[in-house]
Structure 1
């Protein structure tokens, strides 16, 4: 494993990913959502809406422009805009399931 500044790349990546997901998780209750961190060394955030039962998994990943959140169906948001991401998730998961 590559060493960077006394720590390895994987630990730095995991720590940063976890910090972004934890920051988002703090805002989700305001949108009526519940979440749980999953994945240990590969953290991801499981998010669900208690009333509709809709759920998704949120990933935080680096991109050319910085870190982004990704979720299904087709959601993407910059990690720097936590409030917008929380609102988008709230709107997505509050709406009834299509079909």
Structure 2
């Protein structure tokens, strides 16, 4: 059974997944107990895994290399993620 923490994490990842297609990105939820979001750019083939984690300012999305975004600013997070997967400098 999923904990409240993992349900909240999944909720944030699902919200981000909903906006990613508008930015040309594809995603898939991976894992059940500790979910993460696998995201890839169909044109460049670049991909990353998104984590949602609590922080001192609420929940934060993290991805490699060094990317992060707020769960409160899904469009800005999706834009930063798209730039990272495009290979552009933020």
Q: Aligning the two structures, in what range does the TM-score lie when normalised by the shorter sequence? A: over 0.9
Q: TM-score, normalised by structure 1?
A: 0.84
Could you tell me which of 49, 65, 71 is aligned with 1:73? 65
Counterpart position of 2:14: 22
Structure 2 unaligned residues grouped into runs of 5+: none
1:49 alignment counterpart: 41
Distance in 2 of aligned mates of 1:24 and 1:73: 18
Partner of 2:83: 91
Of structures 1 and 2, the larger Rg is shown by 1
Deviation at 1:23, TM superposition (A): 0.2
Which of structure 1's runs of 4+ aligned residues deviate more than 6 A? none
TM-score normalized by the length of structure 2? 0.92
Count of residue pairs brought into register by the alignment: 88
Displacement of 1:37:
0.1
Q: Distance in 2 between matches of 1:90 and 1:65?
A: 23
Deviations 1:32-86, CA, capped at 9 Å, x for gaps: 1000000111000000001100000000000111100000010011110100000
- Structure-1 separation of matches of 2:20 and 2:87: 16
